[in-house]
Every structure is written in structure tokens, then in C-alpha cells.
A = this chain, B = another copy of it.
Amino acid sequence: MSSKDVTALVIGRFQPFHKGHLEVVRTIAKECGSIIVGIGSAQYSHTPENPFTAGERYLMISRALRDDGMRNVHIVPIPDINRYSIWVSHVVSLVPPFHVIYSNNPLTRRLFSEAGYKVKASPIFSRELYSGTEIRRRMIFGEAWTQLVPSAVAKVIEEIGGLERMRELGTTAPITRYANDDSDGSGSQP
């Protein structure tokens, strides 16, 4: 099979999509004919760790890749299923057919290997710098962050009021807390 006939899958949370992610997609795109970008944890949003909806993340990725001149990219939201024995089937049913998955996560690698898929290591770029955790931290504390994401992503975050949302949520607890209720708010994490 010629490399231009190969479709590759990469999965991330992209909270938000940053320059490290972009570099990974670029590198894989050179090795493969087309690429599928799976947006993991698609059902979550509005928390400090997962501030943006799947649709908002879709728009960030779509615009950043278009600006980069990339073609043949499929973007697919993938809700989490925390029952790992069926996770591969779940992913496979949601995305177009693919030939190889790029991942450095041991569990992802193991599950796709057990299911008979070809697994490759994902390239890594300045992980300390290009880190979703670090970018979210900077956004909450008002430090410089826009240089760490593609300009299209910074623009989407501005359009949707993302910075304001993150600062309000800040170090928020689950929603069942109450004026005179418990500070642990363990309601939504049974």
C-alpha cells in the first residue's frame, strides 16, 4: 500500500488544540494520505480540565488545519466509554476506516494491538511547553498563552468567550454545591 493510500487515526482531548498538536498532525500527514483527528472526551465541557465543548474544539481544529493548508483531514468527536473492552469497537464505529493509529498512551496502544490494529508511536514536540494543562493554567491566571496555540484557535476562544468561561469556572467544584451546603461537593462524583 502506498503511503498516500494510508489513513491514520490520532485521538486527543484538545483542551485546547495547541501548536504541539498541530505539529503532530503535520508530521503524520506527511507519512499518510489522509488523517482522522478524534476528539476524545467529547461529552465533557465547562470544567477546569475540559473547558470546551466538542463542537468548539471541532471548530478550533478545523480552522487551524485549514489555515495550515491541510487537506484530507476528518475530524470526529468521540465520547468516552470507560469500559475498555468495547472502546476500540466504539471508536471504529464512529470514524471512517483507517489503517494505523498513532498513540503513545499504553492503554490505547494495548487495546488497539489486542484488536489487531497497527499502532505507531506518536511524534512528540516540546511537551513541557505545548501542554494543555499549562495553557489552561495560564488562561485562568491571566498569563500569556496565545503564542502557544495556532492563531485560529485563539480567535475561536475569543469568539466563544472562552477565557471568561475559564476564569469563572477557575477552580470550581461540581454543581450540586449550595450556599449552605458542603464544601466537598461530592454529589456529582459518587
User: CA of A11 to CA of B188 in the docked complex: distance in angstroms?
Assistant: 13
Of B76, B85, B188, the residue contacting A80 (CB under 8 A) is B188
Mark interface residues in A164-190 (1 if CB within 8 Å of B CB, else 0): 010011101111111111111111101
B133 and A175 within 8 A (CB): no
Instruction: With A47-B84, A86-B93, A165-B110 as known contacts, state yes or no: A180 contacts B131, CB within 8 Å.
Output: yes
Mark interface residues in A13-41 (1 if CB within 8 Å of B CB, else 0): 11100101101100000000000000011
A84 and B181 within 8 A (CB): no
Q: How far is the CB of A73 from chain B (nearest CB, A)?
A: 10
Interface band, chain A: 35 or more
Residues of A104-129 whose CB lies within 8 A of B: 104-111, 114, 116, 122-125, 127
A180 and B59 within 8 A (CB): no
Mark interface residues in A34-58 (1 if CB within 8 Å of B CB, else 0): 0000001111111101100111101
19 A-B residue pairs with Cβ-Cβ distance under 8 Å, sorted by A, are A10-B178, A12-B181, A13-B178, A21-B181, A43-B83, A44-B190, A45-B84, A46-B84, A47-B190, A55-B76, A59-B97, A62-B74, A76-B77, A80-B190, A85-B92, A85-B93, A105-B173, A106-B168, A107-B174
